[in-house]
Structure 1
Amino acid sequence: MTGPCGSYDLVVYRATPAGIIAAITASRLKLDCLLVEPTGRIGGMMTSGLNAADILNDSLINGVALEFFRNIRDEYGMSVLPARIESRIALKVFRRMLAESRVQLALNNDIGAVTRQGATITSCMLGTEWVAGRWWMDASYEGDLMHKAGVPFRVGREAADEFGESFAGRQAFRPMLPWASRMVIDPRQDGRLLAHVQPPSRTALGAGDDDVQSYCIRPTLTALPANRVTIEPPRDFDFSQFELFRRLGRSMRIGRVAAKAIPLLGTTWKSAYFNLAELPGGKVDMNSGPAAPLNNPTLTRGWLDATMAQRAEKANEFARYTQALLWFIQTDVSVPQGVRDFFGAYGLPADEYPETGHLPPDVYVREGRRLNGARVFRQQDVETGGADPGDAIAEAKYHLDCKPVNWRSNHTGTNVVREGMFFTQDAHRYSLPAWILLPDPAACRNFFSLCGVSATHVAFGSIRMEPTWMELGSAAAIIAHLADQRGCLPHDIPGADVRRLRDDRFYQWPAPKFLTAKLREKVTGYYRRIAKV
């Protein structure tokens, strides 16, 4: 397929959860929508290993995003909205929702050149054809369409004095193991820096830079023998790359694995090497531990400026690193025996990611380009409740959270330190305004950035959750629809009007679970008619 041609009301770039929800919402509002995905897979990180969805308050989810989570709930036969979802189930529901919509999906197609007339994006090259669009949405994690369309953006960390944020800019050096403040790890071997360790930084505390928080591949694991694929080391992998982690392991006397049962979620197992969140289907979502981290700042560098082909090579590096790290934790003598005994029971799930050897196919791009709009959402906005009620289009709740930005030698060359990581004890609840999605109208009048919003690096560390992106995607489609109806700029649409239309048109009235899908739709239609929606 060389790519669809023609003209659309809306072109959405990347079939991430935000992009899918935006496209479906727009389609239901009678906008002709094209959803462009350069790969053959949809669902972004929710179908690629990010199985713990970080829903801290399910009452914040609305509209078509709520419909998605209710569909997942029904797949599992649960009575509550699930926050831990298998990738294969998320993929199944996304596919079904798209199939039931009027969205045209262009898989294995990428946007090339983008044309503009003044502050309006007009068309793009897709394959060998030109595609025109009235509205454009960037749902990529990297902000690639924003870059190609010449929309102003930010990358990296603001200086502390730009917005007065306490977590902004270069942070103080911290020990690699957060509980071992006096630990000393020699950063060199045979006169050379260890693999993954960067040279000392002379950047002042609080200074800005173009660094982003670290990426990873987020493995799904299982201990069920019938579904377990044994973890093997990647071919020709140089395990001397893990000397830093061996030194960290040797500094620990015991390998404790703590278990905590969380109501309505499941059990979480934590150690210095992993954080495992229990999923349905006998699986776990593996998050990073500090002693042998999945999150790798060194492999992260260069991703945003890389071509798609170069990113594919870097994704292969991440995959090899991740597979080798899993093998390392299971087998290396530097890892405490208790950790090896526990983790050795796990393997890769045979029913997930068969096309990529049962490791998730996508790199978890936690932070990319961020829109540089007329206003910028800051740490203080997260901490004080965010937008005014009249401006709010969505609600969010999460901690201020940033993974390591650097692993470095300290200034004296005597220790390995990590830098840039923060996580606040309290989760903040706050409202998000429409302007977080929109460029300054002088820069562009028909563009929305869904996953690279106009926020500082610090504030972005709280906003960057998939349910929040889904909410913003749905809101963006509603804003475009209202702007069409009123003949105005999207910047002129009040947030209260977005919420009102969302709640009137996209609230999913409950129908009894025992009904067939067809009958459930009839019941929902009845509820809508009597409500005059």
Structure 2
Amino acid sequence: MTFSNSQSRYDFLVYRATPAGIMAAITASRLNLRTALIEPSDRIGGMMTSGLNAVDILNTTLVNGVVREFFRIVRDEYDLPYLPARIESKVALRVFRGMLAESKVELFQKRDIRFVSRDSARIINCTLNDNRILASRWWVDASYEGDLINLAHLRYRLGREAADEYGESFAGRQPFRSMLPWASGYNVSPHTDTGKLLPYIAPVSRNPVGSADDEVQSYCLRPTLTNRPDNRIPITPPKDFDFGEFELFRRISKGIRTGRVASKDIPMMGTTFKSAYFNLAELPNGKFDMNSGPAAPLNNPMLTQGWVTATYDKRQEMAHAFSRYTRALLYFIQNDSSVPQGVRDFFGEFGLPADEYGSTDHIPPDVYVREGRRLVNRHIFRQQDIESGGACRADAICEAKYHLDCKPVHWRANHSGTNIVREGMFFTQDAYRYSLPKWIILPEPADCRNFFSVCGVAATHVAFGSIRMEPTWMELGSAAAIMAYLANQQRCPVDDIPGEAVTKLRDERFFQWPAPRFLRNKLRDKAVSYYRKISGRRDSA
């Protein structure tokens, strides 16, 4: 590969500073690959620093290498005896920043890729929006949307496969289901008094069950809340918001208030408060990660539509709409007379955390993009692969464990126009443990030979519903860097690298990596403090 003198040259270039992108960049840097990390915004950490605080780790033994190091540092930040699965955004941000500062990664923030240049089956360079040209030997798409897949003109899939394409039971358009996930016996009319559809409701679909489309599951903002008076900011409504848009939720609440759906108690199930209006997962320091409830959902299919194919500026507009919707919804649950009094009384104790998201009025800045473009390869990871344990040991680059999980794709009027239904949602009772193969992050060699997609993997919509967890994406990001390093060392195509060689190097090289300097200093200070405590010494005045 040849580079012009005007180009900045790298061995490994990562697009987007999501957790997966950060792990890919740090791993590559530690393998002595000159690494660039491109992030269009002024933030890093993706959803783990923007409200997705209840991290979906069902088995901590599956977290390895540099990814395990991240969770070990967080563990020590909290003085815990175990790897944490619930992490405050500001703590995740501090650890990500500390790990990047210890690395030799060159971070380009507020920079975006305008276009990429290719030479046959290899990407050569990219031009940023400030006209700077970066050349690299290896390229990684760590965006949630699969934007670099698109810029590189690689084949991808967006949306749902038909059920008969791969024989998956959850594929394609799903049967209509009630807005409430239990038998309420209560219909919610989709129409206003003038006969128009209510806000956020799509017209009836005549597409048959199991048919394919280009739709993705719904997105949301994932608010962080607190009930600690010393850190709580009251929830106020967004300016000029039309609460008439929530007539759908008022009608659902009416069914709950008439007793057709029990919602008097708000039980603490494990470490999560659950009701028809919210799931509140307890975090350290009196905070809670709020997930959606069915009576007033944070996940909004109508606000999601068009996100993946939108420009960066258009996404900013859409993110603003999500932010207004989310703040209004929190205020609605606390104050609207249609919400049961018990729910209002309980939820009224919560507010926004003063020590999080200060630049965005304490609402998380990033939209939770659960699904975007997915790479197309000759192999496609399917529902059956999830259920049967996945790849063999020789091919596997990491392991994962989660349910098959998809949020609603649509809220619609039913065929008779008498009820509002959800469509597209599925969640399996069982959580499956499975291995992911090396090819899941690689395009077809004829398409591109120096590219990895670590979030938009080569999987079906159904299988992706289990893979799409941040710790799994982080593992795949780190694996991509190791694969690139091994391909360089062995001077062979990356497709020839065995998966077991990746995991072997990961475990030998990174599992016992020394703690970063910022953490060593923190641990030293704790040790000094403890010594002084047990010895009776005090600091001098």
Which TM-score tier does this pair reach, normalised by the shorter chain?
Answer: over 0.9
3-state SS in 1 of match to 2:135: strand
Confirm or deny that 1:15 pairs with 2:17: yes
Aligned to 2:27: 25
The alignment's TM-score, normalised by the length of structure 1, stands at 0.94
1:42 aligns with one of 26, 30, 44: 44
Q: Which amino acid in 2 is paired with 1:207?
A: S
Identity across the alignment (%): 66
Q: Which amino acid in 2 is paired with 1:408?
A: R
Confirm or deny that 1:349 pairs with 2:367: no
Aligned to 2:403: 399
Aligned to 1:423: 427
Aligned to 2:208: 204
Aligned to 1:116: 118
Aligned to 1:81: 83
2:264 aligns with one of 253, 256, 280: 256
2:133 aligns with one of 130, 134, 148: 130
Q: Deviation per CA, 1:68-97, whole angstroms, max 9, x where unpaired?
A: 000000000101000000000000000000
3-state SS in 2 of match to 1:131: strand
Whole-angstrom distance in 2 between the partners of 1:400 and 1:94: 29
Q: Deviation per CA, 1:149-189, whole angstroms, max 9, x where unpaired?
A: 00110000000000000000000000000113532111000
Tell whether the 8 Å contact from 1:9 to 1:31 is kept in structure 2 after alignment.
yes
3-state SS in 2 of match to 1:320: helix
Q: Which amino acid in 2 is paired with 1:412?
A: S
RMSD in angstroms over aligned alpha carbons? 1.5
Deviation at 1:258, TM superposition (A): 3.3
Aligned to 1:176: 179
Whole-angstrom distance in 2 between the partners of 1:347 and 1:129: 43
Confirm or deny that 1:408 pairs with 2:416: no
Deviation at 1:261, TM superposition (A): 5.2
Aligned to 1:106: 108
Q: Deviation per CA, 1:42-65, whole angstroms, max 9, x where unpaired?
A: 000000000000100000000000
Whole-angstrom distance in 1 between the partners of 2:262 and 2:329: 20
1:52 aligns with one of 38, 51, 54: 54
Tell whether the 8 Å contact from 1:275 to 1:288 is kept in structure 2 after alignment.
yes
1:311-330 superposed matches below 5 A: 311-330=315-334
1:451 aligns with one of 436, 455, 470: 455
Whole-angstrom distance in 1 between the partners of 2:377 and 2:227: 47
1:146-157 superposed matches below 5 A: 146-157=149-160
3-state SS in 2 of match to 1:67: helix
Q: Which amino acid in 2 is paired with 1:260?
A: M
Deviation at 1:255, TM superposition (A): 2.9
Q: Deviation per CA, 1:9-48, whole angstroms, max 9, x where unpaired?
A: 0110000000000000000000000000000000000000
| Structure 1: unaligned runs, 5 residues or longer | 521-533
Q: Tell me the matched-pair count.
A: 511
Q: Taking structure 1 as reference, are residues 232 and 113 closer, same or farther at Cα in structure 2, changes over 3 Å only?
A: same
Confirm or deny that 1:389 pairs with 2:375: no
Q: Which amino acid in 2 is paired with 1:130?
A: I
Aligned to 1:166: 169
Q: Which amino acid in 1 is paired with 2:266?
A: A
Tell whether the 8 Å contact from 2:267 to 2:275 is kept in structure 1 after alignment.
no
Confirm or deny that 1:289 pairs with 2:284: no
Whole-angstrom distance in 1 between the partners of 2:187 and 2:203: 16
Q: Taking structure 1 as reference, are residues 382 and 102 closer, same or farther at Cα in structure 2, changes over 3 Å only?
A: same
3-state SS in 1 of match to 2:393: coil
Aligned to 1:187: 190
Tell whether the 8 Å contact from 1:197 to 1:409 is kept in structure 2 after alignment.
yes
Whole-angstrom distance in 2 between the partners of 1:337 and 1:115: 60
Whole-angstrom distance in 2 between the partners of 1:353 and 1:498: 37
3-state SS in 2 of match to 1:188: coil
Whole-angstrom distance in 1 between the partners of 2:13 and 2:393: 30
1:516-531 superposed matches below 5 A: 516-517=520-521
Q: Deviation per CA, 1:229-252, whole angstroms, max 9, x where unpaired?
A: 100000000001000000000001
Deviation at 1:487, TM superposition (A): 1.0
| Structure 2: unaligned runs, 5 residues or longer | 1-5, 525-541
Q: Taking structure 1 as reference, are residues 153 and 79 closer, same or farther at Cα in structure 2, changes over 3 Å only?
A: same
Aligned to 2:538: none
Whole-angstrom distance in 2 between the partners of 1:309 and 1:519: 43
Confirm or deny that 1:226 pairs with 2:234: no
Aligned to 2:283: 279
Aligned to 2:3: none
Q: Deviation per CA, 1:349-368, whole angstroms, max 9, x where unpaired?
A: 00000000000000000000
3-state SS in 2 of match to 1:460: helix
